[in-house]
């Protein structure tokens, strides 16, 4: 609703069953009351006349002064001083009669009115409309002019019919207006124009025409009646008023309210003002000029807006509640300038222009603080729903495949079988590993490829397992059995890794991995304790020592050694690997010290790893942490010995390959010469050539065997070196108390897994050099690159360990 509107001062409903037209509203003091208050007369098409006098705000029953059914349809209602010397009377136009009434206080009803019929004129022709005015410049009495449906104008003055005349070129009745200043009647003809007839001319053109059979065009006979002027409007006017509309010297203007425009003409038919309207006015009323200002025209648009025009300008715009069909202006209850509006539905209202401040709407929720927690929860919920609905991406970020592994060593190796590789003799003991696949996401995943990474010393029958698809299951996972054998060829590593690559339902490629710690029992068995050993390493803990029967219960239980030879199993334990190495573990009786002894450096690795793992599993009493230290000096020399061994084995292998190549060249040369000699025409003794060929072949065979042997030696040295690396890293970790991820970084730089590749040395040297140059930081900010010879592995390792000992730490990556 608009802010500016009309506010109702008084309102009532006249009737719901009657039709009200624009001519049925009249405001004036037609009972001549001395206080000069206006009354409202409302007439319906059904013939009911009502007179109201609003006296104060809000209608009361007493405001209805008169309600009378005149039994004839009322076309129009006008008030005026119709008789000389009397106050205002009502003139009511019926289709075939014009009746003039005077009002007097009613005898029966206090404050009411009664009608007294003064005159009743029978009309020969059906009436269309009427207009009241002081025609002919009379000063004391109003005359009535009635327009008939066929163009006859009848004039009634002072209770008598004065004369009649016919409008020229008449087809259908249009609006009629009397302009006092120019003493003319202004009307519109069906030719969409405005015609002005002077009253004197009308009076002198009186004649009666023989009525024609057809109410068609009338030709004026005798003295032709012609309009004073005609103005082609171009559209049919809905109303004509006369007022001093523009601020100029004219005494008044003819304001024509057209269908789409507002036109203002002066008394001579000259155009003064045109204004285009973008609506069709349904009602209009002219507020007469007064108090120094020009007249104002009020128009009502069908959209429910009341526009007030003053000359060129739109002065005011207000929204009316219901669109009236007739409007007048009157003063009631002491208030002047109230708008009276009659709607076609019968509602009569008296209103004024005002404003209604907007009511505060139902904003109850504004008051309370919004519940942010609930809002946030709802927000998250909505976001989750949106994410899920938006793509079929599974809930799991990583694809949803879980791989788990279980190991079981099988004592009866015969039942399981041997690897197909043929190295049956090298395999001892058998291990069955179950790979359990469970997929938790939606749909199913396809093209799963599991690649197995058995540790050193473990042989697996398959390297890659392909699974076509894995459905989502919630109960039992998919089981893939693997068989592995421990080999005699090298000391075993402990971690069996599996990496799976697959396609998730959305088309993404995902990976999953798992690692399994293989049990120690697969790789070694208990033997009689050996108390000597060339290499010794001691681990210290801050907890009281655990007996070995507790820590290594599984090994001791699976032992095949007679209990008598076990010795003090709680303190001493010796295990023998499949390679034949033995390693011993001793526990000190008082402090938490464990010593590992073996004849070779690398054999200590697995045992110590296992010990540390089991110690950590055993844990500490609640409230304390288990700390493991290695307080001796790091056995770098032993490790360097392994390194040297590996290097020499490599060089030996390279040398034997070189020799083989030379021998092969020699063999080829001999072959060629033999061929040439055979092909030669002149016979030549070939004996020495054939001899050379045989011997070279023999040499080739033996050198080939040597190359094979050297390769195996390289492999063995590599295994030992790898084991040594692991051991070294373990010791470094507990010697320097490095955090786990630093150790992993060191391990990844050392890259012990690649020892079996040909160029491990170069890779490791380069990565260690990079590590030294980039990640080591000390307070001085030097990276120490100048002091490091990048070509010497031993030098780099010792330098690094020195720096670590001094307190430098790997800066975060």
Closer Cβ to other proteins, 21 or 162, answer by number? 21
Q: Give the whole-angstrom CA distance, residue 733 versus residue 727.
A: 10
Closer Cβ to other proteins, 238 or 490, answer by number? 238
**Shortest CB 273 distance to other proteins, Å:** 8
Q: Angle at the Cα of 758 (from 753 to 763), degrees rounded to 5? A: 65
Q: If you ran DSSP here, which 8-state letter would residue 279 be given? A: S
Would you state the torsion angle of the CA atoms of residues 673, 677, 679, 684, taken in this order, to the nearest 10 degrees?
180
- Residues 6+ positions from 692 with CB-CB distance below 8 Å: 670
Helix (H, G, I), strand (E, B) or coil at 34: coil
**Shortest CB 280 distance to other proteins, Å:** 7
Locate 728 and state its tokens: 């070294």
Q: Give the whole-angstrom CA distance, residue 395 versus residue 35.
A: 89
Closer Cβ to other proteins, 75 or 537, answer by number? 75
Q: Give the whole-angstrom CA distance, residue 633 versus residue 723.
A: 19
- Write out the E strands in 170-295: 176-179, 184-189, 193-198, 229-232, 237-243, 253-258, 261-265, 271-276, 283-287
Closer Cβ to other proteins, 246 or 445, answer by number? 246
Instruction: Decide: 68 and 101 in contact? Cβ < 8 Å.
Output: no
Closer Cβ to other proteins, 216 or 221, answer by number? 216
Closer Cβ to other proteins, 269 or 519, answer by number? 269
**Shortest CB 386 distance to other proteins, Å:** 7
**Shortest CB 259 distance to other proteins, Å:** 8
Closer Cβ to other proteins, 239 or 455, answer by number? 239
Closer Cβ to other proteins, 271 or 534, answer by number? 271
Closer Cβ to other proteins, 303 or 773, answer by number? 303
- Write out the E strands in 334-456: 335-342, 347-355, 401-410, 427-439, 444-453
Residue 609: count of CB within 10 angstroms of its CB? 19
Residue 450: count of CB within 10 angstroms of its CB? 23
Tell me which residues touch other proteins (CB under 8 A): 1-4, 13, 16-19, 21-22, 45-47, 72-73, 75, 94-96, 126-128, 149-150, 169-173, 189-192, 214-217, 232, 234, 236, 238, 259-261, 271, 273-276, 278, 280, 282, 307, 311-314, 317, 319, 322, 325, 344-347, 383, 386
Q: Give the whole-angstrom CA distance, residue 42 versus residue 49.
A: 6
**Shortest CB 317 distance to other proteins, Å:** 4
**Shortest CB 363 distance to other proteins, Å:** 9
Q: Give the whole-angstrom CA distance, residue 250 versus residue 693.
A: 145
Locate 230 and state its tokens: 């005609």
Buried b (16+ CB within 10 A) or exposed e, 554-584: ebbeebebeeeebeebbbbbbbbbbbebbbb
Closer Cβ to other proteins, 316 or 629, answer by number? 316
- Residues 6+ positions from 661 with CB-CB distance below 8 Å: none
**Shortest CB 30 distance to other proteins, Å:** 24
Closer Cβ to other proteins, 281 or 493, answer by number? 281
Q: Angle at the Cα of 389 (from 387 to 394), degrees rounded to 5? A: 70
Locate 796 and state its tokens: 């780099």
Alpha helix ranges (H) inside 737-807: 740-750, 760-774, 793-806
Q: If you ran DSSP here, which 8-state letter would residue 425 be given? A: G
**Shortest CB 44 distance to other proteins, Å:** 9
């Amino acid at each position: 609703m608009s802010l500016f509107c009309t506010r109702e001062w008084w309102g009532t409903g006249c009737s719901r069953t009657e039709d009200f037209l624009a001519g049925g509203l009249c405001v004036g003091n037609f009972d001549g009351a001395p206080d000069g208050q206006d009354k409202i007369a409302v007439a319906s098409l059904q013939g009911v006349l009502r007179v109201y006098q609003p006296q104060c705000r809000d209608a009361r029953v007493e405001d209805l002064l008169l309600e009378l059914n005149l039994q004839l349809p009322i076309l129009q209602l006008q008030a005026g001083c119709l008789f000389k010397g009397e106050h205002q009377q009502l003139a009511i136009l019926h289709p075939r009669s014009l009746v003039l009434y005077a009002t007097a206080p009613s005898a029966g009803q206090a404050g009411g009115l009664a009608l007294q019929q003064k005159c009743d004129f029978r009309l020969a022709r059906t009436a269309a409309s009427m207009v009241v005015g002081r025609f002919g410049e009379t000063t004391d009495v109003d005359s009535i002019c009635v327009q008939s449906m066929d163009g006859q104008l009848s004039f009634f003055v002072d209770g008598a019919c004065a004369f009649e005349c016919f409008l020229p070129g008449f087809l259908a009745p249009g609006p009629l207006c009397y302009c006092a200043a120019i003493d003319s009647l202004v009307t519109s003809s069906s030719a969409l124009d405005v015609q002005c007839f002077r009253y004197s001319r009308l009076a002198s053109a009186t004649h009666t025409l023989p009525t024609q059979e057809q109410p068609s065009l009338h030709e004026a006979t005798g003295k032709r009646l012609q309009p004073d002027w005609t103005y082609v409007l171009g559209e049919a006017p809905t109303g004509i008023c006369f007022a001093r509309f523009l601020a100029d010297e004219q005494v008044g203007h003819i304001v024509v309210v057209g269908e789409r425009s507002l036109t203002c003409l002066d008394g001579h038919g000259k155009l003064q003002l045109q204004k285009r309207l973008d609506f069709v006015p349904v009602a209009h009323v002219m507020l007469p000029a007064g108090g120094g200002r020009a007249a104002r025209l009020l128009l009502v648009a069908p959209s429910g807006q009341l526009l007030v025009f003053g000359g060129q300008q739109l002065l005011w715009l207000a929204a009316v509640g219901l669109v009236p069909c007739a409007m007048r202006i009157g003063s009631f209850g002491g208030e002047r300038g109230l708008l009276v509006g009659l709607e076609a539905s019968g509602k009569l209202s008296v209103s004024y222009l005002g404003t209604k401040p907007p009511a505060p709407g139902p904003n109850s929720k504004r008051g309370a603080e919004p519940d942010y927690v609930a809002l946030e929860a709802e927000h998250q919920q909505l976001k989750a729903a949106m994410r899920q609905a938006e793509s079929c991406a599974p809930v799991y970020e990583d694809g949803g495949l879980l791989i788990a592994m279980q190991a079981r060593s099988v004592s009866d190796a015969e039942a399981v079988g041997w690897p197909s590789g043929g190295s049956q003799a090298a395999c001892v003991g058998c291990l069955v590993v179950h790979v359990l696949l469970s997929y938790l996401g939606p749909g199913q995943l396809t093209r799963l490829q599991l690649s197995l990474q058995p540790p050193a010393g473990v042989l697996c029958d398959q390297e890659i397992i392909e699974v076509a698809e894995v459905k989502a299951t919630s109960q039992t996972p998919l089981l893939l059995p693997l068989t592995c054998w421990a080999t005699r060829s090298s000391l075993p590593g402990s971690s069996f890794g599996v990496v799976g690559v697959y396609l998730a339902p959305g088309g993404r490629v995902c990976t999953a991995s798992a690692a399994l710690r293989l049990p120690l029992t697969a790789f070694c068995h208990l033997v009689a304790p050996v108390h000597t050993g060339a290499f010794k390493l001691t681990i210290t803990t801050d907890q009281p020592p655990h007996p070995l029967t507790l820590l290594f219960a599984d090994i001791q239980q699976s032992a095949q050694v007679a209990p008598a030879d076990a010795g003090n199993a709680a303190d001493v334990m010796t295990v023998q690997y499949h390679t034949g190495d033995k390693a011993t573990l001793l526990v000190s009786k008082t402090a938490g010290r464990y010593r590992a002894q073996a004849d070779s450096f690398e054999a200590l690795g697995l045992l110590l790893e296992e010990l540390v793992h089991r110690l950590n599993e055993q844990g500490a009493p609640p409230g304390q942490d288990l700390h493991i230290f290695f307080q001796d000096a790091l056995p770098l020399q032993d490790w360097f010995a392994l390194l040297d061994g590996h290097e020499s084995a490599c060089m030996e292998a390279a040398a034997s390959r070189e020799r083989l190549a030379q021998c092969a060249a020699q063999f080829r040369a001999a072959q060629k010469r033999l061929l040439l000699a055979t092909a030669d025409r002149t016979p030549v003794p070939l004996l020495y050539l054939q001899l050379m060929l045989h011997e070279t072949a023999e040499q080739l065979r033996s050198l080939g065997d040597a190359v094979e042997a050297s390769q195996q030696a390289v492999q063995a040295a590599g295994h030992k070196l790898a084991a040594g690396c692991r051991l070294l890293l373990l010791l470094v970790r507990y010697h320097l108390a490095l955090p786990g991820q630093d150790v992993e970084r060191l391990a990844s730089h050392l890259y012990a897994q690649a020892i079996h590749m040909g160029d491990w040395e170069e890779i490791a040297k380069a990565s260690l050099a990079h590590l030294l140059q980039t990640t080591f930081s000390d307070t001085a900010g030097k990276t120490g690159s100048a002091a490091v010879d990048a070509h010497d592995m031993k030098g780099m390792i010792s330098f690094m360990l020195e720096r670590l000992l001094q307190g430098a730490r790997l800066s975060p990556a």
